[in-house]
A and B are shown apart, each in its own frame.
Chain A
């Protein structure tokens, strides 16, 4: 299914494409940009836009490694994947002068560890990864990752977890209070035992269905990204997004300029376009995350600006997922395989 979704080519042939000046080829997450915004860019700059989609950072990396580098202009990797793509030499860089709107990047997202000074990437959206719980099924206290990893009877057997080892094992590590990329034997053993024990209470593993299973009621609790949770509630799921006391994952997706971009100029125009507050807000209104761009608030729909997901309490801690070194990653892979064997 993942493969099908990924390969389902979203060929967005636009009106007047035949006469378009240039082209722009985007490699993007599924369900993450409103069509109207692509149309607006195409009309404003007379550019023919095409877009393919992926469903995980690792799938993006795999596609670029397998020879797609050079066919896309921009992609939208998450924080740690920007770091990895940079290490792999897959990113081009630009000067702030090439992006007139570079100054619109919020100060706190300017000097990020994965791209200091923002020379290869710009903020797209940021949000959190935690879980949501169906309040008609469970009405007790919801403030802990224990609802997923040591669930109460009401939720047992009705939990969906994300089908990516990075997110699921990071949340499990937060629950246990062990550091990410730990190579400590006792800690890894505890992590392995925790997920192996919890699996009996989990109904399914799924990332692209994370929202749908909550809406349909197949799952009564599920790990989910903040914007997806807000969308699920808008679609009628009686759910609450939980900010766990143990902490949650914070992430930021970024538009990067790829190396060997066939249409570098249009890529920069597109990045500059996305840094316009009005356009960044259009993405936020659609995806229901947060923009990382100055001046978006006046363009935001009130239900998005005021949603619980967009307004975490000040005492909740969020961590970025760390890319682990190879010798440690092997052990996390082994735990994941063990979990699904």
Chain B
């Protein structure tokens, strides 16, 4: 913002001089109101005493974190052991989000490559086709997926009709269905950033590699992937982070049989448990994990810029 002033490119740029902090005000307000304040509220609530049936009492305690990490038995009087319940729930969510990310990458990368290598005029049509389903609400799309794969749905009807199977495949209420839902929900978040990266890729690099007798695998590994890496990393983050907190697919397609991070936290605020500090603590732990992932990414980025 102040960068234009030293060049003295135009007289008009003087009006920015010394006004930096004031011009940044909207940004600081935005960050303050929508980022810092909610996180602070959550952090404070996570160390308060829970009030029965929701709400908090303003007494400091680490009980919520204790409940998360330590198991004292059903009646609370056994010697503390490591509590695996919540770690297990977190691990399951992370595993599912990770798998969804890998699946999206496996399908998303070739898709993005295909689109980016079409003639410019056709590309926008392909991109349009990718985004069309996402004009429909996520809830509706998830329910539609359930209609498609249920025991009496079109997929099973077709397979039965074609004689490929004798009894309907039980797909609804399985982990497979949850994966399918996550994959379907977030695929464009993988395709679009990779497309943006591939589109800028200079194909004469590939030709040069071929001239130097690199086979296509080597070209992909040594030339293409490093160049489009920022797009891949951005796509992976855009798929992983929302998948981690997803609750529509687990509830509608997975039958809500097991808690995901999202539904565990929801239960603390909306369910019979009514344990707000614990819900806040679980949210803080989730936030820490996501922050760790983003920081790793940021470090990898700056390293990449330096080389």
Q: Which residues of B contact A218 (CB under 8 A)?
A: 150-151, 172-173
Q: Which residues of B contact A204 (CB under 8 A)?
A: 173, 255-257
Which one of A84, A216, A336 contacts B53 once the chains associate, using CB atoms below 8 Å?
A84
**B98, CB-defined interface residue at 8 Å:** no
* A217-B152, A334-B74 given; A58·B85 CB < 8 A: no
Q: Which of B170, B256, B258, B272 has the most CB of A within 10 A?
A: B272
Q: Which residues of B contact A61 (CB under 8 A)?
A: 53-54, 274
Q: Are B272 and A164 in contact (CB under 8 A)?
A: yes
- B128-187 interface (Cβ within 8 A of A): 139, 142, 150-152, 170, 172-173
Q: Are B256 and A341 in contact (CB under 8 A)?
A: no
**A166, CB-defined interface residue at 8 Å:** yes
**B60, CB-defined interface residue at 8 Å:** no
Q: Are A164 and B271 in contact (CB under 8 A)?
A: yes
Q: Are B248 and A338 in contact (CB under 8 A)?
A: no
**B259, CB-defined interface residue at 8 Å:** yes
Q: Which residues of B contact A326 (CB under 8 A)?
A: 52
* A65-B54, A164-B272 given; A340·B76 CB < 8 A: no
- A168-197 interface (Cβ within 8 A of B): 185, 188-189, 192
Mark each residue of chain B from 275 to 304: 1 if its CB lies under 8 Å from any CB of chain A, else 0.
100000000000000000000000000000
Smallest Cβ-Cβ distance to B142: which chain A residue: A1
**A3, CB-defined interface residue at 8 Å:** yes
Q: Are B270 and A58 in contact (CB under 8 A)?
A: yes
- B227-274 interface (Cβ within 8 A of A): 247-248, 251-252, 255-259, 264, 266-267, 269-274
* A205-B256, A337-B259, A341-B259 given; A329·B272 CB < 8 A: yes
* A2-B251, A203-B173 given; A58·B266 CB < 8 A: no
Q: Are B255 and A205 in contact (CB under 8 A)?
A: yes
CA distance A331 to B258 in the complex (A): 19
Q: Are A163 and B256 in contact (CB under 8 A)?
A: yes
> In angstroms, how far is the closest chain A Cβ from the Cβ of B176?
14
Q: Which residues of B contact A329 (CB under 8 A)?
A: 52, 272
* A61-B54, A164-B272 given; A1·B257 CB < 8 A: no
**B42, CB-defined interface residue at 8 Å:** no
> In angstroms, how far is the closest chain A Cβ from the Cβ of B178?
12
Q: Which residues of A contact B32 (CB under 8 A)?
A: none
Which one of B76, B151, B256 contacts A217 once the chains associate, using CB atoms below 8 Å?
B151
Q: Are B75 and A185 in contact (CB under 8 A)?
A: yes
CA distance A88 to B51 in the complex (A): 11
Which one of B251, B258, B269, B274 contacts A341 once the chains associate, using CB atoms below 8 Å?
B258
Name the prevailing secondary structure of the B interface residues: loop
* A1-B139, A65-B55, A330-B76 given; A203·B273 CB < 8 A: no
- B68-98 interface (Cβ within 8 A of A): 74-76, 85-86, 88-89
**A254, CB-defined interface residue at 8 Å:** no
Mark each residue of chain A from 306 to 341: 1 if its CB lies under 8 Å from any CB of chain B, else 0.
000000000000000000001001111111111011
CA distance A206 to B173 in the complex (A): 11
Which one of B52, B86, B152, B270 contacts A2 once the chains associate, using CB atoms below 8 Å?
B270
Smallest Cβ-Cβ distance to B255: which chain A residue: A204
> In angstroms, how far is the closest chain B Cβ from the Cβ of A302?
32
**A165, CB-defined interface residue at 8 Å:** yes
Q: Which residues of B contact A4 (CB under 8 A)?
A: 139, 248
CA distance A241 to B258 in the complex (A): 27
CA distance A332 to B151 in the complex (A): 34
**A15, CB-defined interface residue at 8 Å:** no
* A61-B54, A341-B88 given; A336·B139 CB < 8 A: no
Which one of B55, B251, B259, B273 contacts A333 once the chains associate, using CB atoms below 8 Å?
B273
CA distance A333 to B86 in the complex (A): 14
Q: Which residues of B contact A340 (CB under 8 A)?
A: 256-259
**A112, CB-defined interface residue at 8 Å:** no
Which one of A199, A205, A338 contacts B85 once the chains associate, using CB atoms below 8 Å?
A338
Q: Are A62 and B274 in contact (CB under 8 A)?
A: yes
**A59, CB-defined interface residue at 8 Å:** yes
Mark each residue of chain A from 142 to 183: 1 if its CB lies under 8 Å from any CB of chain B, else 0.
000000000000000100100111100000000000000000
Q: Are A192 and B256 in contact (CB under 8 A)?
A: no
> In angstroms, how far is the closest chain A Cβ from the Cβ of B193?
27
Name A's B-contacting residues (CB within 8 A): 1-4, 6, 56, 58-59, 61-62, 65-66, 84, 88, 157, 160, 163-166, 185, 188-189, 192, 199, 202-206, 209, 216-218, 326, 329-338, 340-341
19 more CB-based (< 8 A) A-B contacts, given A1-B252, A204-B173, A341-B85: A1-B139, A1-B142, A1-B247, A1-B248, A1-B251, A2-B270, A3-B266, A58-B54, A84-B53, A164-B271, A164-B272, A166-B272, A203-B172, A216-B152, A218-B151, A218-B172, A334-B74, A336-B271, A340-B258
Q: Which 5 A/B pairs are nearest by Cβ-Cβ distance? A: A204-B255, A205-B256, A333-B273, A326-B52, A341-B85
Please list 27 pairs of residues, one from A and one from B, whose beta carbons are closer than 8 Å in the complex, sorted by A's number: A1-B252, A2-B251, A3-B247, A3-B266, A3-B270, A4-B248, A56-B271, A58-B272, A58-B274, A61-B274, A62-B274, A65-B55, A165-B272, A204-B256, A204-B257, A206-B251, A216-B152, A331-B74, A331-B75, A333-B273, A336-B273, A337-B85, A337-B259, A337-B264, A338-B85, A340-B258, A340-B259
